[in-house]
Amino acid sequence: MGGSIHDKKQQIDYLRNRLSLLITSLESMDPEDVEAAEMQRFIDMLEQVEMKATTFKKEWERG
């Protein structure tokens, strides 16, 4: 995605969209066929969302 997001509404929308993509990714996984690499990609995406949420929180705390 593009540049920095500083507006709280845009930040929340960004997180919602990312979480929606994560849910879609998880729902597409077949428990019988999912491989460790695919699960690792999912975990990596979760960690990216967590890092972004933490960044937004720090911005909010700074005001």
Query: In this structure, is residue 44 part of a structural domain?
Result: yes
Tokens 């929308």 correspond to 13
Query: In this structure, is residue 2 part of a structural domain?
Result: no
The number of folded domains in the chain is 1
**How does residue 3 score in pLDDT terms, banded at 50, 70 and 90?**
low
pLDDT at 2 (0 to 100): 59
Query: In this structure, is residue 55 part of a structural domain?
Result: yes
Query: In this structure, is residue 18 part of a structural domain?
Result: no
**Torsion, CA 7, CA 3, CA 12, CA 22, rounded to 10:** 180
Query: In this structure, is residue 58 part of a structural domain?
Result: yes
Query: In this structure, is residue 13 part of a structural domain?
Result: no
Query: Which residue type occupies 10?
Result: Q
Q: pTM here?
A: 0.84
Question: What is the domain range of residue 50?
Answer: 34-63
Query: In this structure, is residue 43 part of a structural domain?
Result: yes
